[in-house]
Amino acid sequence: MADNTSPTDSISSPDAVSSLSSITTFSATFARKLVKDYSDSELPSDRTSRVLYAFLDHLPPDSLNVVADDIVSHSKDLRALADHYVSAVLLPVRASGGRTPTAISTRPGDSDDVDNIATEIITQKRDQAKLKIHCLARDNSRCMVTGYYDTGIAFGTLSDIERENTTTADTEAAHIVPFSLATFDERERHSKAVIWDAIYHMFPGIRAFSPNDINDPRNVMTMWAPLHTAFGKFLLCLEPTITSNRYRLKTYPKFSSVYNTHLPSDGFVTFTAHDGRYPLPEEYLLSLHASIGAVLHASGMSEVIDRILRDRDELRTLAADGSTPVRALLTVF
């Protein structure tokens, strides 16, 4: 059974608390004071402080230092900083199933890195069939969370008797960092570069991973189809533990309870590579996914973004080109 307590109940709670305690620097402490000062005069509809507090409360130590320094450096316009975090990190990653917004606020102060990234990235092609074959080989033809055997493989390789004693299910190749962040046309190139610059800035540990690696098995897991959907919506996350390749399952309130009985009873999964040609999912990518999930839910932006994505056509919240009025994201929608 997965942990579905509040986002503050971190997977490695003792370790997380210890790490955060050791990083109580002047910058982090002062950053919280600045956010508190802003919240004292904040309008009820303004979500700026909730967004910034969520990042301060739910990021790993290296990312916490980055955000704290950002808040101190841009204390004169915290709303613009929160705008950037929402439009360049939360919204694009959460909107993985649709078009990535093109109207994205750049990092305050901007960065020459955006231009460098824009020249280096190459739009990627979806090749789910090949990717699934590779990941199934690595994952022993099973969902990495439930252990269910892939139905297609089962009917192609198992005997009738073996299938009768094996739980099978339709599986999919699930990207950790969304595939949508690595596919674009020329009009979207700069926007994608802004997104990756923001991700690299906030999560220094991901710098070794390029958008051009989006289809690398390090960024993909074999998952039972319903769990893939929940994972993409950040209703299910895998939080790293102190043990390599062991993760704690974290679910959030809108995770369908019907799936709870399909999750490991102890709430943990351990990854094992059954084919050495294909590396296991990277811990730092799953950590990024889990951190963003925690921030989305703690800030309340998960519900806001969900409503915007659901109603964008009817309410014209998103323009036809996929652009988004960012300021609207920080108010009660």
- DSSP letter (8 states) at residue 260: G
Measure the CA–CA gap between 50 and 323, rounded to whole angstroms.
23
Measure the CA–CA gap between 308 and 330, rounded to whole angstroms.
12
Contact (Cβ atoms closer than 8 angstroms) between residue 96 and residue 72: no
Residue 141: name the closest of 163, 117, 122 by CA: 163
pLDDT tens, N- to C-terminus, the chain (333 residues) = 666 554 444 444 455 445 445 545 778 889 999 999 999 999 988 999 999 999 999 999 999 999 999 999 999 999 999 999 999 999 999 986 555 555 567 676 656 789 999 999 999 998 889 999 999 999 999 999 999 999 999 999 998 899 989 999 999 999 999 999 999 999 999 999 999 999 999 999 999 999 999 999 999 999 999 999 999 999 999 999 999 999 999 999 999 999 999 999 999 999 999 999 999 999 999 999 999 999 999 999 999 988 887 776 455 444 545 555 555 555 543
pTM comes to 0.86
Measure the CA–CA gap between 175 and 135, rounded to whole angstroms.
11
